[in-house]
Amino acid sequence: MKVIPVAVVAIVLAGCASYSGRGLVPGQSSAGQVEAVMGPAADKRPGPNGETVLWFPRMPYGDGTYAAR
């Protein structure tokens, strides 16, 4: 019977996770910091000026996608 309350707490806490990059500073945060906050990038592509662009799709079918460089 203790499994149900633990599962409910886990689901509630998972719903509180932020994927918006809260706490990251544009131009100052490293790729490692970005992946620590956002999770592993779904794709890494070369960008302008030799930069690497990290892609983080969110929502079903990637309707909301974040990119960091």
pLDDT tens sequence for the chain (69 residues) = 666 777 666 665 555 555 667 788 988 999 999 999 888 999 999 998 899 999 988 877 767 888 888
Q: Tokens for 7?
A: 């599962």
pTM of the model: 0.64
Is 7 among the domain residues? no
Residue 46's domain comprises 20-68
The shares of helix, strand and coil residues in the chain, as percent rounded to the nearest 5, are 40, 25, 40
Tell me whether residue 8 is in a domain.
no
Quote the tokens at residue 40.
């592993």
Q: What pLDDT was estimated at residue 7?
A: 66
- 15 domain residue, yes or no: no
Is 58 part of any domain? yes
Residue 6 counted as domain residue: no
Q: What is the number of structural domains in the chain?
A: 1
